Structure 1
Amino acid sequence: MSSRTKKMMFCSTPSHHHQKVLDPPPSTVNATNFNTVLELKQIHALLVKTQSHHSLPLTRVVLICALTNHFSYAHKILHLSPNSQELFPWNFCLKHFAEGESPHDAITLFRRLRQMGTPIPDHFMCSFVLKACTRVSDIQTGRIIHAFAVKLGLTANLVLQNMIMHLYAVCGEMSDARLMFDKMPQRDVVTWNIMISQLVKAGDFRVAYGLFCVMPERNVKTWTSMISGFVRCGKSEEAVGLFLEMEREGLMPNEVTVVAVLAACADLGDLELGKSVHQFADRSGFHGNVHVCNTLIDMYVKCGCLEEGYRVFEAMRERRTVVSWSSMIAGFAMHGYGEKALELYDEMIGSGVEPNHVTFIGLLHACSHMGLVEKGREFFATMTRAYGIVPRIEHYGCLVDLLSRAGLLKEAHEVIINMPMLPNGVI
């Protein structure tokens, strides 16, 4: 069979003359109906045998072959396809892996493609592999992609530059990320946001705020990163100040901003602003966001409005998480409603939600205020035995408080002596 005849089966728009000559017998070949390489080969053979005008979907061919390690077969099919842009199907496959549940497969596929000598990578291929590298923190392959980008002259692509810088930052290579940032001839708001948010995550708030102050254009993500950063480092007053400045700039907060500001209000006990943010969240439709609701509960509890916090908790119903339950249990315990805290714990277990270390801090507080020594001892033991939670210093502090309040000073002293960590001032 001639090379020209072999290629006909890939033509998606054959001439009318060819269609008459090459149409298969009455049964129509479904060239897309394959899920394995064996099925693909059977359809491929049938297309060749019948000299069909039907075409194989190249993106599906490479995807099936990549999943089953049949790269060379897919490579041959692509070469037989007339006017085929060989990179496109492979890029489709790389994108599928990089954005799906198997980013490692994208990196493996890229390495195999380089071994096979496929056409020179373009900026799409580099970006898909970089996305996979970022998801799995593969800095080694990321550096190879960076080298490719420089060698092939792709560094003029701002999206690609941002992705490379983001990879370095995510992998903890902040010096490399900053060097790249400083050398970039062009930056957009994404460039600045990547640098600021990653500096905040690394705990370098001073440098992050310095960049924030000189940034030519800020968006909601920029403000939110800095507000969250200030809250995280215990500077809640600065966070609130920045939020009010953001409002004066006329920018609309998003759900992440609301969570950060509510956390700052909880730290400061700023009930007035907290209520105002709550009203804004309701007007904006954020009341369905679990993180917003959980932070609202925590804010109201810490500001002394237990009833308002419980109202938010009740409205959540099916959307409650362990954070929702734990915040409410801690709130009841903190305000002297120990029995209600224990009732809520039983309800939580009955609903199938597993407690975490914060839940047990609230329960131990409740037992301490109610003088329930045996119940407190039981919770302390259950925490490790049933849920595998290693007690932290806060749990030991609650236990010492429980025993001391009950007059069991000798036992409390023994707990302090046998603690796996040094006691703090509270204990």
Structure 2
Amino acid sequence: MKAGGFQPDAFTFSSILRACSRLGALDIGSEIHEQIRKENLLEKDIVLGNGLIDMYTKCGALERANEVFSQLSKRNLVSWNTLIAGYSHQGRGREALDFYEQMLCGGFSPDAVTFVCTLQACGSIGALQKGQELHAQIIKENSDKTNAAVANALVDMYMKCGAVLHARGVFEDIPFRNLVLWTVLIAGYAQHGYGKDALDCYKQMQFGGFLPDAATLSCVLKACTSIGALDSGCEIHAQIVREHSLETNSIIANALIDMYSKCGALEKAEEVFKKLLYPDNIAWTALIGGYSQHKQGGVAMQCFERMQLESHSPDEVTYACCMKACGSIKALGRGQQIHAQIIRLQSLEKHQLLFNSMIDMYSKCGVLDIAKNVFDGLTNRNVVSWNALLSGLTQHGYSRDAVKLYEQMLSRSISPDATTYACVLKAYGDIGDFEKGHEIASHVIKQQLLKTNIVVANALIDMYLKCGEVKIAREVFDEIPVRDVILWTSMITGYADHGYGEDAISCFEHMKVEGLYPDAITFAAILKACGSMGAAYTGEDVHSEIVKQELLEHDAVIGIALVNFYANCGMLAEAQWIFDELPERNVISWSALMVGYAQLGKEDVVLHMLDMMVAESIEPDAVTFTIILNTCSHRGLLDLGQMYFESIHEVFGILPTIEHYTIMVDLFGRAGHLDRAVAIIERLPVSVVNLTMWHTLLGACNKLANTNLGMWAFEQLHEVDAAAYVCLSNIFSVTNQINAEQPPKQTV
């Protein structure tokens, strides 16, 4: 146009600015601004000024929009609305509300557009009180019943502020309802976990004659995702194909992939994904996230590689999903590569989501020092950051450190959530701190998490069971309205661990009556109960159930549990047969069979099995050597026991445990070598030597009637253990009897 000698006027500039706004063409818009400034058009035409404000806000250049606004000699309501809308849409709701207050002070009265923009600002920052003030003003002017956009914005604001009942109240009070209003309500329900209400709302909308569009269908699929309603999601998918032909619409397809992925229907998610000609980042991320969530981290990382090969640039959500995948398969090296990739992309360095996922990945991989370094490097830590590190500490047995971290979290005024409570309950259970765990229980009950969060309920029951409070655990269990297999399994395991075999079996039968199918861990727990009480017939019935479900071929846990069960019942032929039939034998299955032979006094077989195990390239662990050393101790095999003990560290690179040292004290004591038993104790730090070791030494002194050494062991015990008095009394009794029968001998 300019090449043809035509000069643009204000109308032309306005049209170009609108185009720049739509395209986000900031550079071209800035050039137009410069031409407008040179021709002094800004002072003459407020429409141009408003167009510039609109262009800059939509391109994200809010400071420049504010500069233009400040330079306007005259401002009208459109100027204010444009600036407020711009700040609101760019996520700076607080500043948008500040401009609204300035507008009122300037004598301007808000219109419907102003109300819509300010309500959006309130929703974006959760300013419920300010939103309610605006609502009151809107009612005063009757705009909520005469303007559909205002009504939609009100419902949306209340939903985004979490005031679901208020949103529903506004909705019910509106005489006219359009598709946008229904969609806003459904989206709000889905966002806050009211998936069932969202689905009911969707049905009401259809009965009212409204046909859903892509946005509505996307929201209702999100509702299915939030409550795991796979069947409802499949029905809606069929409706999409049958009535709307929208399956390849990117918004719908992405929602379908996300729904199927999160509900565990990964094959269906792949089917939808493959129908897309050009899957976008959201589709890729939904698929990667689904595989990560359902413990298929290897497949998730393959998807990530494919995504990059197809020239898609991962965003912060994609990287977070990949970190989760690396954590799930303990792929530390790959996780570190992604960490380095994120650091190179400086634009992603400020995303808290990413750093939380890094803490989680390093924690799950057991590299807790790096996880702590990432955590310490965060300037703003939210509850997710604390939970990621807490979870890692409890998962890897650092329960006391987890408790300290929890106390730090409270001192920083971070409010714990359900995940926090689940982690800290596990920590208190692991260290046996019943009182502190019971305190957490009061918070859980007060927040009604016992009835709404199955993970927290399970953690609470597990804590009580680990602290030996079986009766309280059962009381809590009975209060939970909906109990899943995991909850029943925890209760069965608790009964089995504490010797309540009959209660465990009763619980197992009750679970099946309620229509729940036991999983591999449930079967392992009930087999443990049967083995502990010698309930061979019941255990064989359980074995039959396992065979019917064809679980033995697919789950090593069940195979090991069966070996343990038959071994504990003295049925070594059956235990050996199960062991021989296992598709893969590991150190746990070998150790389970060793225990069985050891219990029946077949020590030669136990020692031979260690040689066979090593010959099959199975590395023995600490538990294996506990069995071997106990076998040597019971047989009095002093030299062989000494050789195995030394090989633990020298040959196999395992640090001997306190239990290993205690068995060696027992071995030397049984063989009459109290000097060597004392040497074992003296080479250990004082803080490491426990009551069991002192009792073992005292028992050896009792057997050998060694009063002096017995007194030394007794002095370590008498303040904390009354049983020490009994043992010492026996020593003196035996010593006096010996002294009465023969001349005194010098003691060690």
Q: TM-score range by the shorter chain?
A: 0.5 to 0.7
Give per-residue Cα distances to partners, 1:191-245, cap 9 Å, x unaligned: 2112222333344333222211222111100111111111111222222221111
Would the aligned equivalents of 1:166 and 1:177 in 2 still touch at CA under 8 Å? no
* Structure 1 contact 329–359 (Cα < 8 Å) conserved: yes
Equivalent residue, structure 1, for 2:416: 253
Secondary structure at the aligned position of 1:353 is classed as coil
From the superposition, tell whether residues 345 and 251 of structure 1 become closer, same or farther in structure 2 (CA, over 3 Å). same
- 1:104 maps to which residue? 270
**Equivalences for residues 70-109 of structure 1 within 5 A:** 90-101=249-260, 103-104=269-270, 107-108=273-274
Aligned with 1:304: secondary structure? coil
1:253 Cα shift? 1.1
- State whether residues 142 and 164 of structure 1, in contact with CA within 8 Å, keep that contact through their aligned partners in structure 2: no
Q: Secondary structure at the match of 2:356?
A: helix
Specify the SS of the correspondent of 1:422: helix
**Paired residue for 1:131, among 286, 296, 309?**
286
Larger Rg: 2
Report the Cα distance in structure 1 between the residues aligned to 2:355 and 2:561, rounded to whole angstroms: 39
Displacement of 1:280 after TM fit? 1.0
Structure 2 residue 555 is matched with structure 1 residue 388: no
CA 108–266 in structure 1, closer or farther in 2 if over 3 Å, else same: same
Q: Map 1:173-212; keep pairs closer than 5 Å.
A: 173-185=334-346, 186-212=349-375
Aligned counterparts of 1:357 and 1:59: Cα–Cα separation in 2: 42
Deviations 1:106-133 (A, max 9, x none): 64355x248xxxxxxxxxx534443334
Output the aligned Cα RMSD. 3.5
Deviation at 1:313, TM superposition (A): 1.0
- Runs of at least 5 residues in structure 1 that lack an aligned partner in the other structure: 1-55, 75-88, 115-124, 150-159
Q: What do residues 308-328 of structure 1 show as CA deviations (whole Å, max 9, x unaligned)?
A: 1000111124x1112222222
Secondary structure of the residue aligned to 2:251 is helix
In structure 2, C-alpha distance between the alignment counterparts of 1:94 and 1:238, rounded to whole Å: 45
Amino acid at match of 1:422: W
Tell me which of 388, 397, 400 is aligned to 1:225. 388
CA distance in 2, matches of 1:237, 1:103: 42
Aligned: 1:162 with 2:316: yes
> Does the aligned pair in 2 maintain the 1:139–1:167 contact within 8 Å?
no
CA distance in 1, matches of 2:535, 2:259: 50
| Counterpart in the other structure of 2:590 | 422
**What corresponds to 1:156 in structure 2?**
none
1:363 is matched by which residue type in structure 2? I
Q: Give the deviation of 1:269 after TM superposition.
A: 1.2
Is the counterpart of residue 399 in structure 1 residue 553 in structure 2? no
Aligned counterparts of 2:337 and 2:497: Cα–Cα separation in 1? 47
Compute the TM-score of the two structures, normalised by the length of structure 1.
0.66
Number of residues of Structure 1 aligned to a counterpart in Structure 2: 325
The percent of aligned pairs where both chains have the same amino acid is 22
Shift of 1:415: 6.2
The answer for the alignment partner of 1:273 in structure 2 is: 436
Deviations 1:293-337 (A, max 9, x none): 1121111111111111000111124x1112222222222233333
Structure 2 residue runs without a partner (length 5+): 1-211, 217-236, 261-267, 292-299, 327-333, 553-557, 592-623, 628-748
The alpha-carbon distance between structure 1 residues 399 and 274, as it changes in their structure 2 partners (threshold 3 A), is: farther
* Greater Cα offset, 380-389 or 413-422: 413-422
Deviation for aligned residue 1:188: 2.5
Under a length normalisation based on structure 2, what TM-score does the superposition of the two structures give?
A: 0.39
- Which residue in the other structure is 2:308 paired with? 143
Q: 1:58 to 1:416 in 2, by over 3 A?
A: closer
Name the CA distance, whole Å, in 2 between partners of 1:351 and 1:425.
43
Asked if the contact 2:257–2:269 (Cα under 8 Å) also holds between the matched residues in 1, the reply is yes
Do 1:274 and 1:299's aligned partners in 2 also have CA atoms closer than 8 Å? Answer: yes
The aligned amino acid for 1:387 is Q
Q: Which has the higher contact order (CA 8 A, sep 6+)?
A: 1
